[in-house]
Chain A
Amino acid sequence: MNWKRTLGLDNLSKEYAFARSEATGYVSAQKIPDYWVPTTCGYCSVGCGIEIGVKNGRAVASRPHAAHPVNRGKLCPKGLSEHYILESENRAKYPLLRKNGKLARVEWEEALTVMVERFHATQAKYGAESLGVLSTGQLVTEEFYALGKLVQLGFGTNNYDGNTTLCMASAVSGYKISFGSDGPPGTYEDLEHADVILLIGANLADNHPILCQYLEANRHKTLIVADPRVSKTAMMADLHLALKPRSDLALLNGIAHLLIRYKLIDRDYVERHTAGFAELERFLEKYTPDRVAEITGISQEALFKVALLYGRAKAGFIGWTMGVNHSTLGTATVNAICNLALLTGHIGRAGAAPMSITGQCNAMGTREAGFTSGLPGYRKFDSARDRAELAALWDVDESRLPRKRGLAYPDIVEAAVAKRIRALWIIATNPLVSYPNQDVLQHGLSNLEFLVVQDGYHPTPTTELADLVLPAAIWGEKEGTYTNSERRVSKVNKAVEPPGDARADFDIFLAVAEKLGRRDELYPGWRTPEDAFNEWRRVSRGRLCDYSGISYSLLAEHGAVPWPLPEGSHPNGNSRLYSDGVFQTSDGRAKFICADWAPFPEQPGGKYPFVLNTGRTVEHWHTRTKTAEVPILERLSPRAWLEMNPRDARRLGLRSHDAVDVVSRRGRVEGVELRLTEIIAPGQVFMPFHFAETNVNEVTQDAFDPISREPNYKQCAVRVERSLANARSGANA
């Protein structure tokens, strides 16, 4: 501190000066950039248009992109402060190779040579499929497309999956089974047009706050929110269904039962566009209101009310997120949602859609282009025609395309435990925070002979375990496209240079292909992400996710546009899937699925009397590698907490702010701050999953949906006890 400041002659008026500029109005002078770079937000899949303000080569401000169709001039608190993630101290800046047990800085040349050598050595010793790859929903579509080719054709392993399996896999599987293909049918505008909106396991106000303005704009809706917690979103509802944990499938079946019983279904739609109604009708007989009321804890009256509202709606919308997906019955529950839409014909019309509201900024991109749970372009591994078509497009021998999906994320982890996966490449994800039951994961990773972690940040709990850390450019430092929940393709642009030697993931993939000697074959003539995008347009042509009419120049001219956009068609900015009632099945009919409810796998009782629910808070993103670097977000949400109903706390002799341990059969989270609140039901507790310091995934259960392989994050049995490290509890006033 200088002496002028100490005396008070200087009050930092220069640093705190204000100025006017045409673009910003009157604002803190340091926030007035030299120029703005339009791009798309890199957090969630709402896909907001954002502009990064650049001053002297540094990102100094973020603001909503006023003309972007999605966010209408608004951003959430994470978006409003997104530029802070770029200059974090914790950015990965140089390739680091573990030598004598320590990570040491190396040049890219050495890093990639060692990586390819070690992968090849492992594959030579244990078989090609002993190499696994775990990617993400965070890269740009061009990178997903490039990575898929690199892994499946370059390294010849199909044990490749993304963290999207921890997130949206159940929606993907559900869509595929009900409609014949992945692809969310609706659009955000449907939230404005619908007269009845049912949100299931979707806390938009915390997780997708920008979508709440669509709800707010819809003055004529009846909003029904099904959530065991009185979430912020539940507070917006006209009718909150405070159902028992994971009873949603029974609720949906109960509604379907009533729709059929009271002829609130669209017979005509069912007859023309669906298959399996008779079986469904028989199957649903057992979902009588009294039984459903018993399972869900919802009154029969409320059940009738919901059935009547949805059945009679002009346009009924069902939105869901992780409350549905994070479940061993996730796929089945998605099918039950699709059943409701099909029974009533609430699909393919303005306001009428079953709609998964995706998690990550570009989970959609990897689902479409990524070569993990399907071949690029929503093609199926087991379809000879799809394989032949893709092989022809790529001019490769069809035998090089896998005939079935490789191991899914949890199965890669289990294969590592069983020493069938011996080398792993983790890209832009942080499983040491996000994977359920950390013990198993850590065991698996410790078995590996070589672990590469490619990330924008270091150290993270995951990069700390790596044998090789590859520093990647992040959002704001590279170019490409993201596709959001409503299938809207939005340009991502570079505003600033990455730190140190960090490189765009795209360039890393190209360099690895080069090292493999496969660059020309995999990426013929590619230099920039646009080259990848143009190839992807060709590959997606004629598919449901048809990008052929979308080009970088079109995106520059029209802004973000949704697929499908076949070449030559005009971007009307509003497209729904299945408006013609023709689905992606062999006979064009959507399928009714008989999806039976069952209790969640680990019921509370005995030593573990509470059901633990997990979720998010609006200030943080996923494992907090980014948002922990944003001071204002840390200020607003500095640590994890555990919600408990005061009635339970009285019994346990606990008070608000006590430090407690959460204990399950799998582990213990220590020293969590207790919050007593009536927003959670007695017998249940809730904890956010963002915090590595108090990681709820020490206790969550590694039980997975048999189809989607998505973890059952939302329910497991725990007990709560006063933390032994709780020397501070007496400090409460």
Chain B
Amino acid sequence: MRQLTVLYDPNCGLCRRVQAWMVLQPAYVEIVFVPVNSEEARCRYPDLNHSLTLTDLTVITDEGAVYFGPKAWIMCLWALRHYRAWSLRLSTPELLPTAKRVISMISQNRYKLEGLGKMLLRDSKAR
């Protein structure tokens, strides 16, 4: 795998800030951000169910493998140099159920969680 495409929601403040943070992180693979349900996304992936991608984070590899929801979050961590170890840790059978629950909770409440995103971005800028 050489490239990872992240379909993110530009209407959600948390998503925009996490995206801004991810761009600054060193990565093992090239990460491309495409707004969800956009013209570009439809052109790139003609067979994808785009209304479903509106409900949760979707990540697609250059080979066409689709990861949805909590798995997509784990794939984002996996792509980042400093967080690959975390992706492996979170996907062990002991931690995966909890990780999935927490991630789903954040995803479902993403419009209410803008403050968290602001905090994240401030931290990464201060560093």
> Are A and B subunits of one complex?
no
